[in-house]
């Protein structure tokens, strides 16, 4: 947002520094000035103010910060902007009724009659020109002047368009409201509206209505300033895709005490710009429960020794004193009352809803003093670094997967409710204040984010991807959150051709091989089963993995529905591994054996097998002969003939190599021949036919 220095300085008559120095010191205190643009009367600052500092999104709020930094006097708000407005004519005040008391905590109203609407002039026009603010008309420009001055959004209604009392209520489902931008919006029951007895006049905290707007024909005005519940305004703003200056401030938490002050300012300026007379007193309706939650929050205990413990020493070797604590916090609007030596009870200002705890106050002291003015010191440490109990297993997992060509990735700890339901059978934990619908739950599994990572790469032209992620997953409820370690693998794209399986199965078997290689690092036998699979896996295209008797993983091709939803152009295979189970499993320890000094003997056996016979069955049959001298069994060549000439269709030719070796003697031809006969018999028993 843009602010101008003459307006800031108008609240600080004793400010001694230049605009350049002011910009630098504000930036060092977290009120960032990103651009400086001199003009005839001063400098226009282009500001970047963080979302939690809605109190500083105006000229008076920044002036308050400046007063704290330089310890100079700040003109009180009521003197600087909003001196009380006297009645020109007696009256009872305009009737106001708050029906949605959980959504609206305060509403002020005042009547001005006999106005003449014309363009703004004087300092309103002068400041608008310097800020590049578009003028509309005197009364409307005055409301914009108000939030630029003190941060409180306000609104002016054409009084003659209001029928009966002002009613702050929830919208009626299906109620249609035409807004100031000319668009019509269909409201829902969760929207908050400012209405009269017959119709909605505006979408509260977001935008006023078309029918009750101030025009050149307006003669009588109702000035409104209110406080609305932030979450309600944020929801309405998102729902109707409307982001306005008012919603930007209300959804971040406005000052509960600012409404009557802002109403007085706008009333005085409307009379100044458009003439007229104030009729009746200010009507100020408040909801005590909302006041207690904001302006009436409980005091916070602050200990000076805690300030010093957290902040350490300054560059000149001193510590933050009690006097500085009092100076800074009082300048920021806090009321401090001593409770013991070096301890205070701090009443928080109504405009700083981001302050809640002692540590927040300590941070404010450090910020105003200047982080650059503290000495660079490291905290004291005694002892040594202690590895996590599963550090070795985790390192082996990382090294193994990297060696297989997988790159490690880190994804968000959030997931959508839809993904949480699809990828996990356990309940996911909902966020109390989610960033978006896509990040409304703590992730109960790593696979949905892994699917998103594959889609991200494919959409950017990276067609061969191998990724893994080690991270924490969350299940349970908002009362009890269970955390567990998990591992996800994701793969898509080209795989080297093989005669062992069709090309359509290549990616599946590549991921299966990666899992086998990984699990081979841990104690226990690995086996794969085709039991019930989760819904995110395409039926018949996945498997469950066991290590010993414990289920440790599930993997498979992403289902057609998930592929379509994520707009994936090619097959993707995902795996979710129970890392907790692997961390609890001992690693295999390599054992060095003395190499035999005697000659190894190789024998090859050529067989034709039905397609139903797998290599694992052949290997098991040979090893089941319990030949002590058997060193290795391996498939040397696999051959199929699609035309059925050399090998019948439905069968394949396999060349099996067996390596025999003794650690004690040279093998004899009689021994080798006997074992060869047993091997031929075992393979024949599987349905194989030995080739001549």
Residues 423, 555, single domain; the answer is: yes
Beta 166-170 vs 96-98: how paired, if at all?
parallel
Residue 13 and residue 74: Cα distance in Å, rounded? 8
The residues facing 343 across adjacent strands are 303, 340
- Examine residue 81 and state whether it is found in any structural domain, yes or no: no
Query: Do 115 and 276 contact (CB within 8 A), yes or no?
Result: yes
Closest to 304 measured CA to CA, from 356, 339, 335, 334? 339
Check residue 40 and report its DSSP letter. T
Structure tokens at 18: 């230049």
Closest to 319 measured CA to CA, from 328, 309, 327, 329? 309
Q: Which residues contact 427 (CB under 8 A, 6 or more apart)?
A: 444, 475, 476, 477
Q: How far apart are the first and last CA of the chain?
A: 87
Q: Is 92 exposed, middle or buried (0-12, 13-18, 19+ CB in 10 A)?
A: exposed
Sign of CA dihedral 274, 280, 285, 291: positive
Which CATH number does the domain housing residue 434 bear? 3.30.930.10
Beta 2-4 vs 42-48: how paired, if at all?
antiparallel
CA 511 to chain centre: 31
Residues 212, 250, single domain; the answer is: yes
Structure tokens at 562: 């998930």
Sign of CA dihedral 435, 441, 444, 449: negative
C-alpha triplet 23, 26, 32: angle, nearest 5°: 85
Residues 305, 283, single domain; the answer is: no
Residue 583 and residue 390: Cα distance in Å, rounded? 5
Three-state secondary-structure class, residue 323: helix
- Examine residue 105 and state whether it is found in any structural domain, yes or no: yes
Residues 22, 59, single domain; the answer is: yes
- Examine residue 483 and state whether it is found in any structural domain, yes or no: yes
Closest to 215 measured CA to CA, from 144, 128, 139, 133? 139
Query: Do 274 and 117 contact (CB within 8 A), yes or no?
Result: yes
Residues 132, 241, single domain; the answer is: yes
**pLDDT reported for residue 78:** 79
Domain boundary among 236, 269, 293: 293
Residue 568 and residue 691: Cα distance in Å, rounded? 46
Q: What are phi and psi of 169, to 5 degrees?
A: -145, 170
Domain that holds residue 639: 601-690
Which CATH number does the domain housing residue 636 bear? 3.30.70.380
- Examine residue 632 and state whether it is found in any structural domain, yes or no: yes
Residues 310, 440, single domain; the answer is: no
Which CATH number does the domain housing residue 22 bear? 3.30.56.10
- Examine residue 86 and state whether it is found in any structural domain, yes or no: no
Residue 30 and residue 171: Cα distance in Å, rounded? 39
Residues 515, 569, single domain; the answer is: yes
Which CATH number does the domain housing residue 160 bear? 3.50.40.10
**pLDDT reported for residue 6:** 95
C-alpha triplet 18, 24, 28: angle, nearest 5°: 140
**pLDDT reported for residue 83:** 64
Structure tokens at 456: 């991200």
Residues 566, 632, single domain; the answer is: no
Residue 451 and residue 99: Cα distance in Å, rounded? 47
Residue 137 and residue 155: Cα distance in Å, rounded? 13
Closest to 145 measured CA to CA, from 272, 332, 12, 279? 272
- Torsion of Cα atoms, 31 then 36 then 42 then 44, to 10°: -70
Check residue 651 and report its DSSP letter. E
Beta 176-178 vs 651-660: how paired, if at all?
unpaired
**pLDDT reported for residue 82:** 62
Residues 170, 213, single domain; the answer is: yes
Locus of tokens 């993995």: 545
Query: Do 456 and 549 contact (CB within 8 A), yes or no?
Result: no
- Examine residue 335 and state whether it is found in any structural domain, yes or no: yes
Query: Do 208 and 201 contact (CB within 8 A), yes or no?
Result: yes
Locus of tokens 């930007």: 248
Count of the separate structural domains present in the chain: 5
Q: Strand runs (DSSP E) across 341-425, as ranges?
A: 343-347, 407-408, 414-415
**Mean pLDDT of successive 10-residue stretches along the chain, which has 692 residues:** 94 94 94 94 93 93 96 87 78 94 96 95 93 92 94 96 96 94 94 95 96 95 96 93 93 94 94 94 95 93 94 91 95 94 94 94 95 85 83 95 96 92 91 80 94 94 95 92 95 83 89 96 93 92 94 95 92 96 92 88 95 93 94 92 90 95 94 95 95 82
Residues 114, 229, single domain; the answer is: yes
Give the predicted TM-score (pTM) of the model: 0.64
- Examine residue 157 and state whether it is found in any structural domain, yes or no: yes
Residue 146 and residue 258: Cα distance in Å, rounded? 11
Buried b (16+ CB within 10 A) or exposed e, 227-253: bbbbebbbbbbeebebebebbbbbbbb
CA 649 to chain centre: 56
- Examine residue 236 and state whether it is found in any structural domain, yes or no: yes
Query: Do 110 and 220 contact (CB within 8 A), yes or no?
Result: no
Q: Is 604 exposed, middle or buried (0-12, 13-18, 19+ CB in 10 A)?
A: exposed
Residues 259, 332, single domain; the answer is: no
Closest to 2 measured CA to CA, from 232, 245, 185, 190? 245
Closest to 395 measured CA to CA, from 587, 591, 592, 590? 587
Three-state secondary-structure class, residue 43: strand
CA distances (Å), origin 161, targets 198, 391, 454: 11, 72, 57
CA 202 to chain centre: 32
Domain boundary among 45, 75, 105: 75
Element housing 250 (H / E): helix 245-250
Check residue 592 and report its DSSP letter. -
- Torsion of Cα atoms, 31 then 33 then 34 then 35, to 10°: 160
Residue 291 and residue 353: Cα distance in Å, rounded? 12
DSSP 597-661: SS--EEEEEEEEEETT--HHHHHHHHHTT--TTEEEEEEEEEE--TTSSSS-TTEEEEEEEEEE-
Closest to 227 measured CA to CA, from 266, 201, 253? 253
Residues 429, 563, single domain; the answer is: yes
The residues facing 285 across adjacent strands are 107
Query: Do 12 and 74 contact (CB within 8 A), yes or no?
Result: yes
Closest to 524 measured CA to CA, from 487, 551, 556? 551
Check residue 437 and report its DSSP letter. G
Locus of tokens 């391996």: 634
Element housing 473 (H / E): strand 465-476
Domain boundary among 244, 270, 293: 293
Structure tokens at 233: 């305004």
């Amino acid at each position: 947002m843009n602010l101008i220095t003459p307006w800031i300085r108008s609240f600080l008559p004793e400010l001694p520094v230049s605009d350049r120095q002011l910009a630098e010191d504000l930036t060092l205190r977290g009120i960032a000035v990103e651009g400086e643009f001199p003009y005839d009367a001063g400098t226009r600052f282009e500001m970047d103010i963080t979302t939690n500092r809605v109190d500083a999104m105006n000229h008076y709020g920044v002036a308050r910060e400046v007063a704290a930094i330089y310890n100079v006097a700040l003109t009180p708000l009521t003197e600087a902007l909003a001196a009380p407005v006297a009645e020109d004519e007696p009256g009872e005040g305009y009737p106001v009724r708050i029906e949605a008391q959980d959504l609206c905590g305060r509403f002020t109203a005042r009547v001005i009659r006999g106005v003449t609407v014309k363009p703004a002039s004087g300092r309103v026009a002068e400041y608008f020109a310097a800020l590049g603010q578009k003028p509309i008309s005197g009364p409307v420009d005055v409301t914009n002047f108000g939030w630029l001055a003190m941060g409180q959004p306000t609104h002016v209604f054409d009084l003659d368009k209001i029928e009966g009392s002002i009613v702050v209520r929830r919208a009626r489902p299906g109620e249609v409201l035409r807004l100031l931008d000319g668009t019509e919006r269909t409201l829902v029951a969760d929207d908050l509206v400012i209405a009269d007895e017959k119709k909605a006049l505006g979408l509260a905290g977001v935008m006023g209505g078309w029918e009750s707007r101030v025009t050149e024909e307006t003669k009588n005005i109702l000035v409104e300033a209110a406080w609305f519940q932030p979450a309600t305004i944020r929801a309405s703003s998102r729902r109707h895709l409307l982001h306005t200056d008012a919603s930007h401030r209300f959804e971040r938490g406005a000052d509960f005490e600012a409404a009557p002050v802002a109403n007085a300012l706008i009333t005085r300026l409307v009379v100044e710009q458009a003439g007229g007379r104030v009729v009746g007193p200010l009507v100020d309706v408040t909801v005590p429960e909302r006041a207690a939650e904001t302006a009436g929050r409980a005091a916070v205990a602050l200990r000076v020794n805690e300030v010093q413990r957290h902040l350490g020493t300054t560059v000149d070797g001193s510590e933050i004193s009690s006097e500085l604590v009092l100076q800074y916090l009082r300048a920021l609007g806090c009321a401090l009352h001593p409770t013991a030596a070096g301890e205070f009870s701090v009443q928080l200002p109504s405009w700083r809803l981001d302050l809640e705890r002692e540590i927040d106050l300590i941070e404010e002291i450090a910020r105003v003093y200047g982080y650059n003015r503290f000495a660079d010191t490291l905290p004291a440490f005694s002892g040594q670094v202690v590895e996590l109990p599963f550090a070795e297993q985790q390192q082996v997992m990382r090294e193994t997967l990297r060696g297989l060509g997988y790159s490690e990735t880190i994804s968000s700890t959030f997931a959508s409710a839809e993904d949480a339901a699809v990828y996990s059978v356990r309940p996911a934990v909902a966020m109390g204040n989610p960033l978006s619908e896509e990040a409304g739950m703590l992730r109960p599994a790593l696979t949905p984010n892994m699917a998103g990572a594959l889609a991200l790469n494919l959409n950017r032209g990276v067609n061969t991807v191998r990724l893994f992620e080690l991270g924490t997953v969350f299940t349970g409820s908002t009362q009890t959150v269970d955390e567990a370690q998990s591992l996800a693998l994701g793969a898509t794209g080209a795989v080297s051709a093989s005669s062992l399986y069709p090309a359509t199965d290549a990616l599946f078997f590549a991921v299966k091989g990666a899992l086998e290689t990984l699990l081979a690092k841990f104690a226990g036998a690995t086996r794969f089963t085709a039991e019930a699979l989760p819904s995110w896996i395409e039926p018949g295209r996945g498997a469950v993995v066991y290590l010993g008797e414990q289920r440790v993983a599930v993997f498979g091709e992403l289902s057609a529905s998930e592929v379509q939803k994520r707009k994936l152009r090619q097959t993707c295979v995902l795996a979710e591994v129970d890392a907790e189970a692997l961390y609890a499993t001992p690693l295999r320890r390599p054992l060095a054996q003395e190499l035999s000094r005697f000659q190894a003997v190789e024998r090859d056996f050529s067989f034709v097998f039905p397609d139903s016979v797998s290599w694992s069955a052949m290997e098991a049959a040979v090893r089941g002969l319990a030949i002590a001298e058997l060193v290795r069994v391996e498939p040397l060549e696999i051959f199929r003939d699609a035309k059925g000439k050399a090998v019948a269709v439905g069968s394949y030719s396999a060349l099996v190599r067996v390596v025999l070796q003794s650690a004690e003697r040279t093998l004899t031809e009689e021994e080798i021949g006997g074992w060869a006969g047993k091997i031929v018999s075992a393979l024949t028993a599987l349905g194989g036919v030995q080739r001549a």
